[in-house]
Amino acid sequence: MPCTCVVGLQWGDEAKGKIVDVLTPSHQYVVRYNGGANAGHTVVHGGKTYKFSLLPTGILHPHMTSVIANGVVVNPLRFFEEVETLRAAGIAIGDNLVVSDHAHLIFPYHLEEERLSEQGGENAIGTTGRGIGPCYQDKVGRVHGIRVGEILHPQHLRQRLRTIVPRKNRLLRAFSADAQQFDADALCDDYLRHAAGMGRFIANTGAVLHQALAAGKNILFEAAQGSLLDVDHGTYPYVTSSNSSAAGVWSGSGVPARNLSRVIGVIKAYTTRVGRGPFPTELNDGPDGIGERIRKTGREYGTVTGRPRRCGWFDAVAVRSTARLSGTDELAVMLLDVLSELDEIKICVGYDLDGTRIEEFPADAFLLDRCQPVYETLPGWKANLNGAKAVTDLPAAARRYVDRLASLLGLPVTIISIGPDRAQTIMDTR
Ligand code: IMP
């Protein structure tokens, strides 16, 4: 069985892009199956840094077909922006990119809906402002959702927008008297212009992937965000609106999960989170504290929004639950080098919830908020990891830390990353 899934097991930004990039030579297809331009994947490839939001990072490899599958939500403006930026950097984009006709389209009224809803103070989720939530709401609501394939039918699109846009305008006004209003025909004209550029990429990607499987091709599934942001299994309501765990592969691409022969769970050696929501191991220890040191050393600022990421210790309780959820076979430990300066390093091995020790992750935000982490402390290694090519080149304390993560999670660590460059990756550590 030829499929691999690379999935983040925390709150996103685990450096999945680098692992996808490392694995692409042995695959012919790479698939984004969830989310949209809310993702931020940074890949250092051939000495250059590339940033991705919507396109699969596999597009850097000319031998691969990159697929934006049905589970993704697509803003055509972001799509073209990214295609043009990559082309300007010398990346060929043509028949090697396919966009699902079943993916849903983000319209400007989705961005306005999100802007107004995020003004809600206490009720704000701290989203990326890319229209992701409102677009998925329309998809699931079935009345107002418009799919990518529909922009290829001008009369049909105009008719739909003439019904939908006046309703959206009324809903937006109900939210706020000064809400932005939209014109159905102007929007339709805009999207038909987009269709002219996007048309060549649009296909039934489910069928494309099944043909690939039948031809014995290898498919790499690239999750966006992290499993703790999964709409069903994450820290609801402080989540994204898609299935960002490996659970999304089947519905988000049409490829049955039984085809996955390898699920690589990607974890940072510590934890970060952007946006609001509970985070038991967060380090709120001030401008000279360890949280700030991790942020600075790990350059922990959002790729999409530039927001400083919240930083904290590794949480084995949370990751045990997401590793199980995604059917994880092996772990990639990223950014180990970021901890190199610390005297000692903590790992959360349990929670105290209202005086009771628990080891199962309570995903409900209101319960998780009350959990106090129970820590185990390990010595730091206080040494530069640069130049390590094999696990045996790592300082003993660093090896011990990685081994402890593996034993707490009950999974082998097969990849260790000690820097952004592809060369700074220790592979096959078993
Ligand atoms: P949305 O996906 O823009 O609706 O945002 C919902 C939550 O997911 C917010 O807390 C965001 O900060 C978070 N989020 C969305 N995309 C990413 C990502 O790629 N990395 C990390 N957090 C993300």
CA of 125 to the centre of ligand 1 (A): 9
Q: Which residues line ligand 1 (CB under 6 A)?
A: 11-13, 38-40, 125-128, 130, 132-133, 224-225, 229, 238, 240-241, 274-275
Identify the bridge partners of residue 398 per DSSP, sorted by sequence position.
none
Calpha distance 270→163 (Å, rounded): 49
Structure tokens at 269: 């050696």
The strand pair at 310-312 and 356-358 is best described as unpaired
In this prediction, residue 122 carries a pLDDT of: 80
Mutation pick for ligand 1 pocket among 54, 115, 128 (CB with most ligand atoms within 8 Å): 128
Q: Kindly report the number of other CB atoms within 10 A of residue 414's CB atom.
A: 18
* Dihedral sign from CA coordinates of 130, 271, 23, 213: negative
- Encode pLDDT of 313-368 as tens digits: 999 999 999 999 999 999 999 999 999 999 999 999 999 999 999 989 998 899 99
CA of 138 to the centre of ligand 1 (A): 18
Task: Read off φ and ψ for residue 182, nearest 5 degrees.
Answer: -125, 155
Q: Which CATH number fits domain 104-198: 3.90.550.10, 2.40.50.140, 1.10.300.10, 3.40.50.80?
A: 1.10.300.10
**CB pairs under 8 A, 24+ apart, for 134-138?**
134/109, 134/110, 135/36, 135/73, 135/104, 135/105, 135/106, 135/107, 135/110, 135/241, 136/73, 136/104, 136/231, 136/241, 136/242, 137/241, 138/104, 138/110
Domain residues of the chain, as ranges?
A: 3-100+211-263, 104-198, 267-427
C-alpha to C-alpha distance for 45 and 211, rounded to whole angstroms: 30
Question: Which two three-digit tokens encode residue 374?
Answer: 């129970």
pTM: 0.95
Give catalytic residue positions: 13, 41
41-64: burial string, b at 16+ Cβ within 10 Å, e else? bbbbbeeeebebbbbbbbbbbeeb
- Digit-by-digit pLDDT tens for the chain (430 residues) are 589 999 999 999 999 988 998 898 899 999 999 999 988 878 887 788 888 899 998 899 988 999 999 999 999 999 999 999 999 999 999 999 999 999 999 999 999 999 999 997 788 999 999 999 999 999 999 999 999 999 999 999 999 999 999 999 999 999 999 999 999 999 999 999 999 999 999 999 999 999 999 999 999 999 999 999 999 999 999 999 999 999 999 999 999 999 999 999 999 999 999 989 999 999 999 889 999 999 999 999 987 778 899 999 999 999 999 999 999 999 999 999 999 999 999 999 999 999 999 989 998 899 999 999 999 999 999 999 998 999 999 999 999 999 999 999 999 999 999 998 888 999 876 6
Ligand 1: centre distance to CA 379 (Å): 33
- Tell me the residue type at 42: T
Q: Which two tokens mark 292?
A: 């700030």
Q: For residues 58 and 285, what is the distance between their CA atoms, to the nearest angstrom?
A: 39
Radius of gyration of the chain from its Cα atoms, rounded to whole angstroms: 22
**285: Cα within 13 Å, side-chain hemisphere:** 14
Ligand 1 centre from 67 Cα, in Å? 21
H/E element, 30: strand 29-32
* Close Cβ partners of 216 (under 8 Å, ≥ 6 residues apart): 2
Two tokens, residue 92? 């060929």
**Which of 11, 274, 311, 334 to mutate for ligand 1's pocket (most ligand atoms within 8 Å of CB)?**
274
Compute how many other C-beta atoms are within 10 angstroms of the C-beta atom of residue 192.
15
96-132 burial string, b = 16+ CB within 10 Å, else e? bbbbbbbbbbbbebbbbbbbbbeeeeeeebebbebbb
> Which residue's C-alpha comes closest to atom 1 of ligand 1?
127
Length of the chain equals 430
Task: Take residue 225 and report the two structure tokens written for it.
Answer: 């965000």
| Cα 156 to Cα 151: distance, rounded to the nearest angstrom | 8
For domain 3-100+211-263, say whether CATH 3.40.440.10 is its number.
Answer: yes
Same fold, 3-100+211-263 and 267-427: no
Q: Name the DSSP class of 308.
A: B
Where are the strands (E) in 201-315, listed by range? Answer: 202-203, 219-226, 260-268, 271-273, 310-312, 314-315
**If residue 357 lies in a helix (H) or strand (E), which one and from where to where?**
strand 356-358
Beta bridge partners of 425: 417
Report d(CA 420, CA 423) in Å as an integer.
Answer: 8
Place of tokens 């790592």: 394
- Cα 42 → chain centroid: 11
Q: What's the rounded Cα separation, in Å, for the pair 281 and 269?
A: 13
Domain 267-427 class? alpha beta
